[in-house]
Amino acid sequence: MLFLLDNDDYQKLILLDFLENSEGTISFQEILDQLNISKYFVKKYINDLHTDLQQFDIPTTFFSIKADKKNIYYKRLSPLSVVALLKYHYGRRAQLRPFVDQLFLERSLTQTEFIDQFLMSKPTFSRLRNKLVDYLAKINLKLSPKLTLTGDELFIRGFLYKSYFNYQGDHLEALDQPTKTVIFTLIDQIENIIDIHLSYAERLKMTHFLAVTLNRIRQAHYLLHNLPYHSTEETTPDIAWPTDTVDQVAKVLLARFNALNLDLLRFEAKGILNFLYAELIYTDLDYSNKGAHDLLIDFSKSLQKFFNISKDNLRELYLTERSEQTFIAHFFQVTQYNFPVSNLLKNSHIPYIDENFAAYMDLARDFITIFAKHFPNRIEYFNAYRENLAVDIFFLLLAHMNLTKLARPVNITIDFSNGPAYNKFITTEVENFKALNLRVNSELQSDTDIYLSDLWPQQTTNTKNIQWTAPPTSLDWENLGNLIIYIKKNRA
């Protein structure tokens, strides 16, 4: 969702994000291969970044960056990332920002008045308007001559929500204090009604979503249905929220909009609850229909295509009884909304994923391709956000499937001579990386890939030995991680 940014600012963010994920020495050639940014522009953007930090009064303590004739030398100096902060400032100064604010506020302005108010030339207005129109087409929306959005109300709200959440993040100064008070109170009430406690990130998402929802209601743009976007094969039924839950949320809204009738606000209440479900914030529901069942079958076919598993054992891959329902909830999100869940800037090069989970990511991309075939009238959306949508599926795989049954794990034997407690300590630390598909044991076996110890048994001819004679340092952990990657890459 970086369409809003001016091109140079967008390229600077992509470059900086790439450098943060490839910390150390990076050649200009590698940047050209991965990002298609030439050496000239890399140097230009680095100089611009320093200027931007000064202009936005951002401390220069986030990173250090140097360049010579062949390489960039990048080092993070802070646990905080400057990318999100720069994205916020770039979003504020973007030439398209007045258009997006106009779409949210719907001020009564003619195009001529808009041009005059924001001191634009007519050619600039036309260029930016065309850029916006092209982007909106990808998410099944249109721009009216009055500079308002037309299309499905769910999609309009999705576009506005994701735009403001993506660019403002936790910078909420655009909302006045009375509006924030109303939203925060409403969130508290919804938490009590459905008995959940939202994290900070979840509350922030809800804040932006409710800001859009309340604004659209005030503008008399009502949510007259809650159905997902229909596929060509199946009309997906709405989620069967308990009637009492819907009524309680509707009555909370009625306290804010007492001129509206309760039936209308029930649709709005279900829209809010559906958002919680689609974002996997609240999934304690059983939701199933033929469309969801068909997508699960397609997902199973992708699993069988990339991994050696039988059709009869597919259900055993889910970690818990609720895991399958979590996938269905995510399928609901993809069908109902016109934005992906993930906010990753550039997914073509994520070393952690590329090095450790290439097969899982390939599976996710394959499934999104199959998924898209159910929605031919949304093909531009799937093409534009294919990587983001695949990343969402990828993380679901890691969180809700038994990876050791998908592919052979890396077997690590932990066997130190410092006593059971020390072995337990190291085992616990290694098991924190279980998403890497590791299996940990205490006895050297025929299929052991890595023997981790302060000893060095001579008979381990087919096993890689790592010897730690003291509690491991950060370099020790790095060497272990590199060896795990090496073993995965060199398996037949």
Considering the domain architecture, whether residues 80 and 100 belong to the same structural domain is answered as no
**How far apart are alpha carbons 398 and 412 in whole angstroms?**
20
pLDDT tens for 387-403 read 889 989 998 988 888 87
Beta strand 464-467 with 438-441 is: unpaired
320 and 374, same domain (yes or no): yes
DSSP H helical segments within 94-199, as ranges? 97-105, 111-117, 122-138, 153-168, 177-194
Residue 336 lies in a domain: yes
pTM of the complete model: 0.83
Mean pLDDT over 254-274 rounds to: 92
Domain identity same for 125 and 247: yes
Same domain, 57 and 166: no
What mean pLDDT value characterizes the chain?
87
Burial class (CB in 10 A: 0-12, 13-18, 19+), 300: middle
Residue of 403, 369, 406, 400 whose CA lies nearest to 387:
369
Q: How many domains does the chain have?
A: 4
Q: Give the pLDDT confidence score for residue 233 in this predicted structure.
A: 40
Decide if 97 contacts 4 (C-beta within 8 A): yes
What is the average per-residue pLDDT within 51-72? 92
Reading the block at residue 339, the tokens are: 């934005």
Q: Are residues 313 and 397 both part of a single domain?
A: yes
**Residues 314 and 342 occupy one common structural domain:** yes
- The domain in which residue 215 lies consists of 94-278
Minimum mean pLDDT range among 63-67, 176-180, 400-404: 400-404
Q: Are residues 224 and 259 in the same domain?
A: yes
pLDDT of 131 above 50: yes
Whether the pLDDT of residue 227 is over 90: the answer is no
- Token pair recorded at residue 87: 């994205």
Q: Give the tens place of pLDDT for each residue, 324-375.
A: 888 888 988 888 888 888 776 654 456 667 777 888 888 899 999 999 988 8
Across the chain, how many H-helices and E-strands are there?
A: 21, 9
Check whether 229 has a pLDDT greater than 60. Answer: no
Band (1; pLDDT cuts 50, 70, 90): low
Of the residues 344, 373, 405, the one at which a domain ends:
405
Mean pLDDT, residues 459-484 taken together: 86
Closest CA to 95 of 10, 4, 1, 2: 4
Percent of the residues in the chain that have a pLDDT greater than 90, as a whole number: 48
Contacts by residues 74-82 (CB-CB < 8 Å, ≥ 24 positions apart):
74/19, 74/20, 74/22, 74/23, 74/24, 74/26, 75/23, 75/24, 76/20, 76/23, 81/20, 82/16, 82/53, 82/58
Structure tokens at 246: 């819907």
pLDDT band at 456 (very low <50, low <70, confident <90, very high): confident
Domain end marker among 224, 248, 278: 278
Same domain, 400 and 416: no
Residue 465: CATH number of its domain = 3.40.50
Q: In this predicted structure, what is the pLDDT of residue 230?
A: 45
Identify whether residues 66 and 127 lie together within a single domain. Answer: no
Taking the CB of residue 310, how many other CB atoms lie within 10 A of it?
8
Question: What is the pairing mode between strands 464-467 and 149-150?
Answer: unpaired
What's the rounded mean pLDDT across residues 182-210?
95
Predicted local distance difference test score (pLDDT) of residue 10:
93
